[in-house]
């Protein structure tokens, strides 16, 4: 996932083309990736005094063995980019242990007191 700032008819709503995008398409082909972002999905739209047309420049690529669901979010707050939400579907049951960030303060240090999880 990333802000590639490249335009290509495979993903751009207006089918704009930049030659530099061919390198990305070739890499995706050689690495057996597929484009999760739907063709024509607006991921960036000028706001305020910015100029230009809406575009699809934030792209999500996935390995061909993965099954993904893509959700574009239409609320962008103060950014000119829309949030991109991708769910990677697996057959594996979720881990029972809490995620590693449970019990951490916002600054990354451990909280005093435990919120559960494994103890040693």
* The pLDDT of residue 120 is above 60: no
> What contacts 11, CB < 8 A, 6 or more positions away?
35, 37, 39, 40, 41, 56, 59
Is residue 13 within 8 A of residue 56, CB to CB? The reply is yes
Q: Residue 111 has which token pair?
A: 């909280």
The domain of 15 spans 2-89
pLDDT at 80: 75
Under the banding of pLDDT at 50, 70 and 90, the label for residue 115 is: very low
Determine, yes or no, domain membership for 112: no
Determine, yes or no, domain membership for 114: no
Cα torsion at 96, 98, 71, 88 (round to 10°)? -50
Determine, yes or no, domain membership for 16: yes
Per-residue pLDDT tens over the stretch 42-72: 888 776 677 778 888 888 899 988 888 888 7
Determine, yes or no, domain membership for 6: yes
CATH of the domain at 23: 3.60.10.10
Determine, yes or no, domain membership for 106: no
């Amino acid at each position: 996932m990333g802000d590639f700032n490249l335009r290509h008819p495979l993903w751009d709503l207006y089918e704009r083309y930049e030659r530099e995008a061919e390198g990305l398409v070739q890499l995706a082909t050689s690495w057996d990736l597929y484009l999760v972002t739907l063709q024509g999905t607006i991921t960036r739209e000028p706001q305020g005094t910015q100029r230009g047309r809406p575009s699809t420049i934030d792209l999500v690529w996935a390995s061909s063995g993965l099954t993904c669901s893509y959700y574009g979010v239409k609320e962008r707050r103060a950014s000119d980019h829309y949030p991109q939400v991708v769910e990677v579907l697996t057959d594996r049951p979720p881990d029972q242990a809490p995620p590693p960030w449970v019990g951490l303060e916002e600054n990354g240090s451990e909280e005093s007191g435990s919120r559960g999880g494994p103890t040693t």
